[in-house]
Structure 1
Amino acid sequence: MFLENSNKHQQYLIQLPKISQNVADIQTLYSPKDFYHTLLKAILGAKHRIYIVSLYLEKDQGGEVILNALYQARKVNPNIDIVVLVDLHRAQRSRIGGSNTINTTNADWYYQIAESYPDVNVPVYGVPINTREALGILHLKGFIVDNNVIYSGASINNVYLHKQNKYRYDRYYMINNQLLADSLLIYIKQQFLTKSAVNKLNDITCNKSSNCHIKNYNIRLFRHSLRYADYCYEGSTAQDELTITPLVGLGTKSILNQTIHHLICSINTNITLCTPYFNMPAKLSRDLVSQLRKGKQIEVIVGDKTANDFYINSDNHFKIIGILPYLYEINLRSFIKGLQNYLDNGQLIIRLWKHGENSYHIKGLWADKEWLLLTGNNFNQRSWRLDLENALLIHDPNNELYYQREQELTLIRTYTKMLNHYTELQSIADYPVNVRKIIRRLRPILIHRLINQII
């Protein structure tokens, strides 16, 4: 029965349409600074098109360098096609946990920059995935520069680009493939740029405030259309060569979620999963436990709570958002507590990433040294249900990416500590007093469960 089920999952992966890929045209980047320099060089050297899709492009030093580079590229080459798309709600608010003394939002800044380049058009569109940010965000990844796809879970700001002292660690790939780039671009044009819910945030020919008010009806129609949209391309069914399958999805039944499920259930020997926020949907948790019971090895690399971007150092004023890293740790402790025997026999490997005051944002799957999933998906309940997510599934049957894969995993593991027992994670009793008070107030009324659904 186990073999039959495994074959069913493997058959699903085999039948996915695939795009052929030359191994010489895949470059893995290993640091935020490499990502920054590669992105900037690509923008300044672009000839035909630049499409930037990101959760946010921040008003800070890193964001300013990239946005000004886009304007310079358009100024030098007026015929180049340049478009920036960001999450609408994220663009219209200040950073969570940030200072309230600065009232200028990213959307305001995009408008100001556009005014400083009156003769250069670089449209920045706001994309509303739902009527409220808490109910869904634009979490699509992949920058298109000519025929290159620069794929990372990173957004654009100082910490993701390592412009100052701290960095946020992610995965970074430069893939040259015209068919892949075209498929991502067609999706953007058809699903975003033709919809009334998607509007420019920096159109200086219009009243700036008019772009901030979109009818909820239009947003709901837009979200509904995204549930049924997919990447369009002429794929092959080749199983003996290096290929890439682009995946996109919104909602629990999306093709992306289905593929993640089948990928986990199809493994023959082992899988490595990375996520910054441990808050897995029940389905994925069951899949992992099922594979452990079948004798497979599972490695999970997750950020230490202090490497979470919401973590607040004890020296700083504590805010309610600061309980999130503790809730993630509670989830992780609960998950591995009942699986201690698998930790003991080495089937389950849990690694915590921590490097100074830097943060961890790596997501993805490595299965049987044959499949790689590049994604911005956090494998959490929010990404499973609410956000618009995508991924690139790489099939490497001949192990052509062996060196790059092993180098990337080695570097990810460098700043990790392997857990031997669930008690190495703190319990609620060990947390700071203000954190304990908040959690104990939430638990009796089950609000922590609601929080888990939207983080």
Structure 2
Amino acid sequence: MKMMYLRRLFTQELCPVTHTDLMGCLQHSPQQLQQLLSGGFAGAPGLESLSWLHNLAPCFPLRGDQIQVIHEPQHFYQTLMQRIRQAKKRVVLASLYLGTGQLENAFVQTLRHSLQAQSSLRLNVLLDFTRGTRGVANSKTMLLPLVREFGEQVQFSLYHTPDLRGMTKRLAPPRWNELLGLQHMKVYLFDDAVIISGANLSNDYFTNRQDRYILIEDKPLADFYAQLIERVQEFSLAVSADATEGLHRNWRILPYEGTKEQFIRLAKERVTNFVQEAYQRQLQRQELDTEADTWVFPLLEMGQIGIHHDSVVTKQLLSNCIAGSRLKLATGYFNLTQEYMDTITHKCLAQCSILMAHPNANGFQGAKGPAGGIPAAYTLIAKSFYESLVRRQQNHRVNFFEYQKPGWTYHAKGLWYYLPNARLPNLTLIGSSNFGERSVNRDLETQVCLVTDNMDLSQRLQAEADRLYDLSTTAERDIVQRQVPRWVQAVVRIFRNFF
């Protein structure tokens, strides 16, 4: 029953199950039984309405003081560098790409020095194939010297979407081939600490591109993410010292050859079985952490290999918002799925504030070619959603804000949820998902759902949200009045699922 339940969850076929369903799957001590029946948030009775989360994802209980909220890109970069220097056992980096500038070169040199200083240190890097090999100087050329110099200490992998194959793979030019799907997870792990973020490893994200970042010091969670990245590396392409990309030693099917369906089935099995095992270990723990005041639930979304987990949890969170609660949702690119917009409109009872990039803070503003129309496309989608809220008389409950800071671009995403009468957030989602069509159907994503009863952590999460919203202005009137070129309107109708 347990395996069947989680398989249904990962294929978006589930109906919420009762705690009794879970109880029948495993043997529990009376203490475990009491905690699960009370919703799993021991010592935090105000969080009962969120207890359904324990049915849907592995849970890592910890204390609020194990979590650091990072606010600025420069601090993010400094933290990465410091943690690499201090690492003794492992560094695991999962990102879309690594840039090629001065800061990125210093980043690679720091990795080199740590690998030289610690012969027991292992470096695992997972990037996207199409983005990571774009141009003459790219992520691959940046990291290849480490592969050559340190041999078995370094495992460098490039995820290749199974959708890019055949004539499309041969003819689609760089940038355009990235539309079909990407490795988009942002996980940066150092020994027993992990940074979950939406930021990539490049100059903008280290200087003037605003994102979100939290550092969690917890060995079980770090082990979970290290092992997850290893699973994805198995069905990714391994980069060798001779600069070729080939199969991982545990894999036999190239993502762009053979049967696409077989590749997807086997890749899905790798990830699904891993998460099921993690969930089982969580429920079988004999000792419960009675000091926990914070609970972390890792969420995955890998639509191109048939895994829909994060979107199921996100939709249920939106639909379970109770009357009197508040919700703040942020996205760097406003292209919410129709299902998310319908849920906010018809099932969500919270007062909602949606934060997005002003066109001037959009990373595509001023880009050459069709990419230059992307900011207008996001405006059009936001305008359409706002007008639908007006028609359904829900616009009083949903407000729009746009972030703008001179010289900066905006890439922060996530969610803060406040229970009724709560001044501070009780829950946050943070990670790589933009809550859009790409996030659900095309890219590999991960974010964590963090629930806390720790006052200090809630205050720090509130300060994070305030810093973002303080640089925003209300946007409903501007969204409606802003002109959108006709060609952009046509492109959005046809290609909305690709950006």
TM-score (norm 1): 0.83
Find the partner of 1:105 among 109, 118, 138. 138
Contact preservation (8 Å) 1:263, 1:367 = no
Within 5 A, what are the aligned runs for 1:324-403? Answer: 324-340=374-390, 346-368=396-418, 369-397=425-453, 399-403=455-459
Q: 2:105 maps to which residue?
A: 64
User: CA distance change for structure 1 residues 55 and 425 in 2, over 3 Å: closer, same or farther?
Assistant: farther
Within 5 A, what are the aligned runs for 1:9-20? Answer: 10=50, 12-16=52-56, 17-20=58-61
Find the partner of 1:199 among 219, 232, 238. 238
Once the two structures are aligned, what percentage of the paired residues are identical?
21
Q: Distance in 1 between matches of 2:429 and 2:493?
A: 29
Opposite residue 270 of structure 1, the aligned amino acid is: R
Aligned length: 414
Please give the secondary structure, in 2, of the residue aligned with 1:271.
Answer: strand
Q: Using the TM superposition, give the Cα deviation of residue 423 of structure 1 relative to its aligned residue in structure 2, in angstroms.
A: 5.5
Give the gaps of 5 or more residues in structure 1: 95-102, 429-435
Within 5 A, what are the aligned runs for 1:116-265? Answer: 117=149, 121-132=153-164, 133-162=178-207, 167-189=208-230, 191-195=231-235, 197-200=236-239, 203-204=240-241, 206=242, 208-209=243-244, 211=246, 214=254, 216-217=256-257, 220=260, 221-228=262-269, 229-230=271-272, 231=275, 232-233=277-278, 234-235=281-282, 241-251=293-303, 254-265=308-319
Find the partner of 2:467 among 401, 404, 411. 411
Contact preservation (8 Å) 1:75, 1:120 = no
Q: Distance in 2 between matches of 1:144 and 1:70?
A: 13
User: Could you list the per-position Cα deviations for residues 171-227 of structure 1 after superposition, in whole angstroms to 9, with x for gaps in the alignment?
Assistant: 0111100000001111222x23433x4211xx32x3x24559956136944443443
Q: Distance in 2 between matches of 1:65 and 1:135?
A: 32
TM-score (norm 2): 0.76
Q: Distance in 1 between matches of 2:91 and 2:312?
A: 31
User: CA distance change for structure 1 residues 398 and 304 in 2, over 3 Å: closer, same or farther?
Assistant: same
Q: Distance in 2 between matches of 1:45 and 1:343?
A: 55
Q: Distance in 1 between matches of 2:298 and 2:150?
A: 37
User: CA distance change for structure 1 residues 422 and 340 in 2, over 3 Å: closer, same or farther?
Assistant: farther
Q: Distance in 1 between matches of 2:372 and 2:393?
A: 29
Within 5 A, what are the aligned runs for 1:415-454? Answer: 415-421=471-477, 425-428=481-484, 436=485, 438-439=487-488, 443=490, 447-454=491-498
Q: Distance in 2 between matches of 1:278 and 1:258?
A: 19
Opposite residue 217 of structure 1, the aligned amino acid is: E
Q: 2:70 maps to which residue?
A: 29
Q: Distance in 2 between matches of 1:298 and 1:186?
A: 36
Q: Using the TM superposition, give the Cα deviation of residue 381 of structure 1 relative to its aligned residue in structure 2, in angstroms.
A: 0.4
Contact preservation (8 Å) 2:301, 2:440 = no
Opposite residue 331 of structure 1, the aligned amino acid is: I
Q: Using the TM superposition, give the Cα deviation of residue 13 of structure 1 relative to its aligned residue in structure 2, in angstroms.
A: 1.9
Opposite residue 143 of structure 2, the aligned amino acid is: Y
Give the gaps of 5 or more residues in structure 2: 1-14, 19-48, 165-177, 248-252, 419-424
User: Could you list the per-position Cα deviations for residues 102-123 of structure 1 after superposition, in whole angstroms to 9, with x for gaps in the alignment?
Assistant: x3333233335656x4789534
Opposite residue 448 of structure 1, the aligned amino acid is: V
User: CA distance change for structure 1 residues 264 and 437 in 2, over 3 Å: closer, same or farther?
Assistant: closer
Please give the secondary structure, in 2, of the residue aligned with 1:384.
Answer: helix
Q: Using the TM superposition, give the Cα deviation of residue 91 of structure 1 relative to its aligned residue in structure 2, in angstroms.
A: 1.0
Check if 1:307 corresponds to 2:347.
no
Contact preservation (8 Å) 1:85, 1:124 = yes
User: Could you list the per-position Cα deviations for residues 254-313 of structure 1 after superposition, in whole angstroms to 9, with x for gaps in the alignment?
Assistant: 111100001111112111100011111110001111246x4x201100111121111107
Q: Distance in 1 between matches of 2:183 and 2:452?
A: 29
Find the partner of 2:129 among 65, 88, 91. 88
Q: Distance in 1 between matches of 2:163 and 2:133?
A: 13
Q: Distance in 2 between matches of 1:215 and 1:246?
A: 26
Q: Using the TM superposition, give the Cα deviation of residue 427 of structure 1 relative to its aligned residue in structure 2, in angstroms.
A: 2.4
User: CA distance change for structure 1 residues 423 and 326 in 2, over 3 Å: closer, same or farther?
Assistant: closer
Opposite residue 389 of structure 2, the aligned amino acid is: L
Query: Mean Cα displacement is larger for which, 133-142 or 328-337?
Result: 133-142
Query: Mean Cα displacement is larger for which, 416-425 or 57-66?
Result: 416-425
Indicate the RMSD between aligned Cα atoms, in angstroms: 3.0
User: CA distance change for structure 1 residues 225 and 88 in 2, over 3 Å: closer, same or farther?
Assistant: same
Query: Mean Cα displacement is larger for which, 365-374 or 231-240?
Result: 231-240
Opposite residue 358 of structure 1, the aligned amino acid is: W
User: CA distance change for structure 1 residues 60 and 342 in 2, over 3 Å: closer, same or farther?
Assistant: farther
Opposite residue 124 of structure 1, the aligned amino acid is: F
Q: Distance in 2 between matches of 1:219 and 1:29?
A: 43
User: CA distance change for structure 1 residues 323 and 224 in 2, over 3 Å: closer, same or farther?
Assistant: farther
User: Could you list the per-position Cα deviations for residues 10-65 of structure 1 after superposition, in whole angstroms to 9, with x for gaps in the alignment?
Assistant: 55324243111111110101100111101100000111110111110111122212
Opposite residue 452 of structure 1, the aligned amino acid is: R
